[in-house]
Chain A
Amino acid sequence: MPNPIHLSRPKRTPPKSMDEGEKSQSEIFTAQFENLDHVREFVGQAARSSGLNDAAVYAVQLAVDEAFSNIIEHAYNGECEEKIECTCQIMASGLVITLRDCGKPFDPTAIPDPDLDVELENRDIGGLGLYFIRNLMDEVSFSFALEADSGKQCNVLRMIKRG
């Protein structure tokens, strides 16, 4: 049996329409689940513009849905009139999506991965959202930022998806 031929991967070049730091869009949504459609559409069009394929676009939409839902549930303790800002930036390195909220400070290290090997009866229902975000996106980071006007501490979630 002959050895399989290992072809070297072609060097990835960014789509011609992208420039580093260009194409940044921001939108502010209120913390309501009915806005999930709008947020998904907003990031979906940025994802398509950045040249991501269908599967990657879906992954971005799902990750953002999970993050947005988590912010409503945990940062704001439920639906309310508070704001969540979503920014999409198309960089040469990939699509960068940032979600920002000024709710309860979020500590991602406090959330364990769900146990996937446990049988049905003992499967925990929570913890899936963050797990999805981490697995669907290439880079995920959490940080804090101080809001200039109010002095409030805000959560900043930054996610990157590469084609």
Chain B
Amino acid sequence: MEIATTQYKHCDMVKPNGRVDSSTAPQLAKALDEITDAGRFKIILDLEQVDFMSSAGLRVLISTQKTCKRYNRGEVALAAVPKRIHDALDLAGFIPLFKFFDNALDAVGAM
């Protein structure tokens, strides 16, 4: 799975491409860990190019959110979330735990 990462002045953007499942979730976790390990905790996860996400992916999301929100130092925001993935997030009770943006640009502007 390809993951594009972009560093902005106030935040980092991570854009995975394809399917996030038990096979590929570790790659996503690694990309996010690299950012938080570097002391950066404002992250936009652009899901526009993700066509499938299982609970393995959701676990990475929640784990990273916990890290970023600790000590009020930042957060993970989700951008361009496809409907099916939004439905899965809803099923998992994750909607209240994240900020949502229609597209990555809006998210960058708000961080």
Contacts and interface: CB of A to CB of B under 8 A. Distances in A.
Interface of A: 33-34, 36-37, 40, 55, 58, 61-62, 65-66, 69, 72-73, 114, 116-117, 120-121, 123, 125-126, 128-129, 131-132, 135-136
Given A37-B19, A66-B55, A123 B62 contact: yes
A116 B92 contact: yes
B93 A72 contact: no
A33 B21 contact: yes
27 contacts: A33-B22, A36-B21, A37-B23, A55-B84, A65-B52, A66-B54, A66-B55, A72-B22, A73-B22, A116-B92, A116-B93, A120-B62, A120-B66, A120-B69, A120-B97, A123-B62, A123-B97, A125-B63, A126-B59, A128-B58, A128-B92, A129-B55, A131-B91, A132-B54, A132-B91, A132-B92, A136-B91
B88 interface: yes
A-side interface mostly: helix
Contact of A62 (B59, B65, B88): B88
